[in-house]
Amino acid sequence: MQKLKLRNTNLVRTNKYLKMINYIKESYSELKNHVTWTTWSEAQRLTVIVAAFSVVLALLVFGIDTVFSGVISEYFGWIKS
């Protein structure tokens, strides 16, 4: 009975690994054969656009933070005196 249980456990474990390997193979095949990828030039162009917007947004957040920091400093300076 113990041998049968051990054997079944190994079969289940092996079956899980085979399913996982099959899933990875099918995913790779799907990505390679059925997905339409953007061209290299379009990917570069979109990367530049995202980087530019990220810099603009960071500068905007920095500006707003600086303004609020100044306003709060003035407020507490006014309360302190």
Tokens of residue 35, six digits: 């997905």
In terms of DSSP H, where are the helices of the chain?
Answer: 2-33, 40-80
Find how far residue 42's CA is from the centre of its chain: 21
Report residue 25's pLDDT band, with 50, 70 and 90 as the boundaries: very high
Q: What is the mean pLDDT of the chain?
A: 88
- Distance CA(71)–CA(56), nearest Å, equals 23
* pTM: predicted TM-score of the whole model, two decimal places: 0.56
Indicate if the pLDDT at residue 19 is higher than 60: yes
Q: What is the pLDDT of residue 54?
A: 98
Q: What is the pLDDT of residue 18?
A: 87
Q: Average pLDDT, stretch 55-76?
A: 97
